[in-house]
Amino acid sequence: MAPTLPRLALSVRQPSAWAILHGGKEIENRSLGSIRAGNMRPGRIAIHAASGMKQAEYDYLVWRWARDGVRVPRPDALPRRAIIGSVEVVGVVTESDSPWFGGEAGLLLRDPVLCDPIPAAGALGYFEWTPGGALAEPLAWMTAWGGAEGGLFGDLPVQFGEAPEKPFGRKK
């Protein structure tokens, strides 16, 4: 039985959308201005995996989360342009010791519930979603990322020679 999904959604770029539902990401960072402008408030919302995904963000987050034992799927395996689950927003924080906090403010998240990807267009802030269209196709960098899938070392995590530069938020 499929979960009942809220009509309001928040669009989040991958792999952060995946981490909210699978990787224990308990804070979604936003500016206070975007929280106010998007009318973001406590309550259950759907999580929309945005169409866009930047390689610099993906590389940094894969490297960063590996330190905490979180193994992110390959970029071409992450659904985009789709509702992928729901989560309860329990508040807004401006300070936190969470490793997921890294901005001016963030939505504090609890109780993720997965669903099969439902193609849908996204929007800024909280938005009322409707199903339609198709999942976003992987880009060339996504299918080539980390070398050929499988192979001799295909089941091992990708290694980085040096830490990728943090492409967003505070440069800790």
Instruction: Report pLDDT for 2.
Output: 54
List C-alpha distances in Å: 46 to 22, 120, 122, 125, 166.
14, 11, 11, 12, 27
In terms of Cα–Cα distance, which of 59, 55, 28 is closest to 125? 28
Q: Identity (one letter) of the amino acid at 1? A: M
More confident of the two residues 157 and 120? 120
Q: What SS3 class is residue 136? A: coil
Q: Assign 3 a pLDDT band (cuts: 50, 70, 90).
A: low
What's the average model confidence in pLDDT over 70-92?
A: 96
Do the Cβ atoms of 101 and 27 come closer than 8 Å?
yes
Calpha distance 70→85 (Å, rounded): 19
Instruction: Report pLDDT for 48.
Output: 98
Q: Assign 15 a pLDDT band (cuts: 50, 70, 90).
A: very high
Q: Assign 158 a pLDDT band (cuts: 50, 70, 90).
A: low
pLDDT digits (tens, 9 = 90+) for 124-146: 999 999 999 999 999 999 999 87
pLDDT digits (tens, 9 = 90+) for 94-122: 999 998 898 899 999 999 999 999 999 99
Assigned token pair, 57: 């963000």
Q: Give residue 133's Cα distance to chain centre.
A: 20
pLDDT digits (tens, 9 = 90+) for 24-75: 999 999 999 999 998 899 999 999 999 999 999 999 889 888 887 888 999 9
Backbone angles phi, psi at 16, to 5 degrees: -65, -35
Q: What SS3 class is residue 1? A: coil
Instruction: Report pLDDT for 107.
Output: 97
